[in-house]
Amino acid sequence: MDRDGWLVARCRGKRVLHLGCVGFTDCHSQAKVENARLSLHHQLTEVSDCVGVDLDRTTVEKLQSMGIFHNLRVGNVERLQELEGQLAPFDLVVAGDIIEHLSNPGMMLDGVQRFLKPDGQLIVSTPNAMGLPAHLRHCVGRFREGSQHVLCFNALTLAQLLERHGYEVAEAHSCHHRQARASSGLLFKLGCSFFRAFPKFGGTLIFAATTRRSGSSFGGKGARGGR
């Protein structure tokens, strides 16, 4: 499934906190501004009551001064407690492809709980280190790690990290990014079908987790596969 499309549908009509909202981490500030209307944050802002948090003060201030966004906060997602009292609780907290950039991801997970409604969910996506696409790229010499990536996860380690910090995995999927749509041939379609059936092998993992004990672990009876 398409990551952004799934997130937009999930966030529609909800109150959403978007962590690492600027995106395009391998780009310089001006490129981030130029790409802002293509960003996930722009899509979420269109369909939800969304607040974004990002550490990139220069880009956040540019985006707000140019009137592109009016819903951004400068903040460190590993120190979310510094924003406590400034933001009302959220239905969803979205951490899209940010956890692999963090020195202390557990600090972010602990901080998120301050801002979730009692029945709220955290949605985390990250590249899958054990995914079939990553292995194939390694084999043909075309694998390129993001320049600011310092951690890698697979389905098991991501689930264990969430559980260690008081979450229960309610849903586990694999997904692809918008760029992958360019590969609309038979091989891509077969790959999508395979990864729906076996999400542990997909290129990008996307988990929905709750702080309540109502979810289920990855691959368990209650976990819903990709769609």
Torsions phi, psi for 73 (to 5 deg): -130, 140
- Reply yes or no on whether the pLDDT at 146 is more than 80: no
Grade residue 137 by pLDDT with cuts at 50, 70 and 90. Answer: low
Confidence of residue 226 (pLDDT cuts 50, 70, 90): very low
Per-residue burial over 200-225, b = 16 or more CB atoms within 10 Å of its CB, e = otherwise: bbbbbbbbbbbbeeebebbeeeebee
Q: What are phi and psi of 198, to 5 degrees?
A: -130, 75
> Which residue's entry shows tokens 């963090």?
102
Q: What's the average model confidence in pLDDT over 172-183?
A: 67
Rounded average pLDDT over 65-69: 94
Q: All domains of the chain, ordered by start, with CATH? A: 3-210 (3.40.50.150)
Cβ pair 117, 87 in contact under 8 A: no
In sequence order, the β-bridge partners of residue 125 are: 96, 206
Among 106, 83, 93, smallest CA distance to 157 is for 106
The average pLDDT across 37-51 equals 96
**Residue 149 burial by CB count (10 A; 0-12/13-18/19+): exposed, middle or buried?**
middle
Distance in angstroms (rounded) separating the CA atoms of residues 9 and 5 = 6
Q: Give the C-alpha distances (Å, rounded to integers) separating 41 from 5, 20, 61, 136, 150.
A: 12, 9, 15, 30, 23
- Regarding beta strands 116-127 and 204-210, do their DSSP bridges make them parallel or antiparallel, or are they unpaired? antiparallel
Element (H, E) at 58: helix 57-65
- pLDDT of 104 > 60? The answer is yes
Q: Is the pLDDT of residue 160 over 80?
A: yes
Q: Is 24 left (phi over 0), alpha (psi -120 to 50) or beta?
A: left
Average pLDDT, the chain: 84
Asked whether 132 and 184 are in contact (CB, 8 A), the reply is no
